[in-house]
């Protein structure tokens, strides 16, 4: 499995996540987004409906009916109720089994010490598990640059 670490330095998660989810959907993948709390899940839920004036991302959270039908599912759990092929783990969310995924994306705020430390630990664990791991950081123009 391919594992990517996205180090946010120039934008917020709310700004950076939607375009990455759109690209995943364009590839035909179902998406799971795992948060650390229900409050954070609900905030991202609201954001995905309003992040652009001319667009939104169809999605649901794990508290709603029929999660298996959702192209994008926001969850606090580690399961894959919607059969996602890509899982975004945000702000230090701890993964469960990664079986069945083609890609995992850990996104963390570079200005939050706890998130940086969690990402370091997750990097080591993913590498030790034999996954292909890459590190991406935002440049001053907010574009992603591969660093490792």
pLDDT digits (tens, 9 = 90+) for 74-106: 999 998 899 999 999 999 999 989 999 999 999
Q: Where does residue 145 rank: exposed (0-12), middle (13-18), buried (19+ CB within 10 A)? A: exposed
DSSP assignment letter at 93: P
What is the C-alpha separation between 78 and 84, in angstroms, rounded? 12
Which of 24-28, 41-45, 49-53, 91-95 has the lowest average pLDDT? 49-53
Q: How many domains is the chain built from?
A: 1
Query: What are the CA-CA distances from residue 2 to residues 23, 34, 85, 115 (Å)?
Result: 16, 17, 11, 21
Is the predicted pLDDT of residue 55 greater than 80, yes or no? no
CATH of the domain at 65: 3.40.50.10110
Q: What average pLDDT does the segment 2-15 reach?
A: 96
Report the SS3 class of residue 46: helix
Give residue 136's region: left, alpha or beta (phi > 0; psi -120 to 50). beta
Domain ranges, residue 49 = 2-146
């Amino acid at each position: 499995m391919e594992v990517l670490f996205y180090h946010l330095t120039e934008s917020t998660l709310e700004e950076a996540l939607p375009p990455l989810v759109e690209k995943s959907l364009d590839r035909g993948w179902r998406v799971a987004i795992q948060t650390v709390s229900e409050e954070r899940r609900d905030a991202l839920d609201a954001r995905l409906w309003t992040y652009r004036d001319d667009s939104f991302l169809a999605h649901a959270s794990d508290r709603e009916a029929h999660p298996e039908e959702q192209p994008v599912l926001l969850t606090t759990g580690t399961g894959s109720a919607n059969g996602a092929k890509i899982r975004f783990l945000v702000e230090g969310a701890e993964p469960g089994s990664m079986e069945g995924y083609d890609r995992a994306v850990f996104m963390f705020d570079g200005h939050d010490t706890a998130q940086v430390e969690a990402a370091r630990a997750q990097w080591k664990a993913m590498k030790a598990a034999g996954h292909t791991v890459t590190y991406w950081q935002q440049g001053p123009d907010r574009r992603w640059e591969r660093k490792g």
